[in-house]
Amino acid sequence: MSSDDNTLRQDARVIGLVGLAHGTSHFYHLIVAALIPWLKPAFNLSYTELGLVMTVFFVVSGVGQATAGFVVDRVGARAVLFSGVAMLGVSAVALSFAGGYPGLVLGAFLAGLGNAVFHPADYTLLNQRVSRARLAHGFSVHGISGNIGWAASPIFLTSIAAVQGWRAAMLWAALLPACVLVMLVLNRHALRPDPIAAPAKADGVQGGTLDFLKLRSVWMCFAFFLLTAVALGGIQAFASISLEALYGITRELATSSYTSYMLASAVGMLAGGFLGANVKHHDRTVALAFAAAAALALVLAAGAGPSWMALPLMGLIGLCSGVAGPSRDLMIRAAAPKGATGRVYGVVYSGLDSGLAIGPLLFGLVMDAGRPGWVFAGVALFQALAIATAVGVGGSTRARQLAPA
């Protein structure tokens, strides 16, 4: 077998294992949301109280994610990833035995801790163990696996809850990370981390543990994720309801429109992997993709077209957003100083959790004001703002790379 064949098999193995773990983490993003119809009457809770449980998850994950990046760079990504997968299983067991509201909050807290490790650990492993020629494809599969986790979670949980109850659904959910952990341990050699190296100098910044925080590009990456996640949070929480009000369509068609967004986003990520592998300036790909998505969101916001437009427009928005995904991750990779990959991804991706915590609350206020069109206008606004940060990241990174010359 040739060296190229060995490298291909190794790359595919690592990408598949990391993608499986990432899909598991996204599955747990919706473990409470999917079971709201059962949890609300079981504990006599308001939607605000249930929303707070989900906010606990994302706040803990966001804060923990920034911390986990430092741990990844200190002890290695493999051990941190294993601990996160295990913690997800523990959280589901805790949720299944919750006797009241505090038990739900505790379970969400544990799930947030588990979820916190995935982005810094995943991206560090991909950067260390996947060849440069296939790295864009690795980022593409990573994003697609997350979408699959989001799509599978409600179907899996509600199907079991309808027959056996929500506690049984939680216990069945605990089997997923248990099985994934076994697979990761059996293939642990493929995920071996690189030796821990001392942080390097970058952009005129000395190599201390926290010195990467002085880089302007790191904080612009954080802002990019925060802005795009606010838009995503609005789409996930209120796109279907907004489309019903704007276009007078049935709930089934509105839900199908959101499904088209998710499926098209996965297709976009697949295409974006090939694009990212052949394009040098990834920030420009991101900017063009989000510019198209924002323009389409404004068309939806107007609510002036025929009702059948809702489904294809949502699909096109998802396609454009998905295309940006692999280039986005490559853009962050270029912005990260050598030896600080885990820390950079941890801090940057904490912006994702922050945005997902803010988005539903912000767009909920818009919906309460009776302005469903403003949901998509807001999505367009935050995507447009994200374009400015992406261009800033690319320019700052190029300037840093040229500085030694």
CATH architecture of the region 211-397: Up-down Bundle (1.20)
Confidence band, pLDDT 50/70/90 cuts, at residue 204 = very low
Q: What is the pLDDT of residues 56-111, one digit of tens each?
A: 898 899 889 888 988 998 889 999 999 999 999 999 999 999 999 999 999 999 99
Judge whether 89 and 184 are in contact, CB under 8 Å: no
User: What span, in angstroms and rounded, lies between the C-alpha atoms of 269 and 234?
Assistant: 20
> Mean pLDDT over residues 230-256, rounded?
85
Q: What is the pLDDT of residues 163-189, one digit of tens each?
A: 999 999 999 999 999 999 999 999 999
The yes-or-no verdict on residue 211 having pLDDT over 80 is no
The yes-or-no verdict on residue 274 having pLDDT over 70 is yes
Predicted confidence at residue 60, as pLDDT, reads: 93
The yes-or-no verdict on residue 203 having pLDDT over 90 is no
In CATH terms, are 1-181 and 211-397 the same topology?
Answer: yes
> Which residue intervals of 187-309 are DSSP H helices?
216-247, 251-278, 282-302
CATH code, 1-181:
1.20.1250.20
Residue 180 exposure: Cα atoms within 13 Å on the Cβ side? 26
Domains of the chain, by residue range, sit at 1-181, 211-397
User: What span, in angstroms and rounded, lies between the C-alpha atoms of 62 and 258?
Assistant: 25
Burial 171-185 (b: 16+ CB within 10 A, else e): bbbbebbeebbeebe
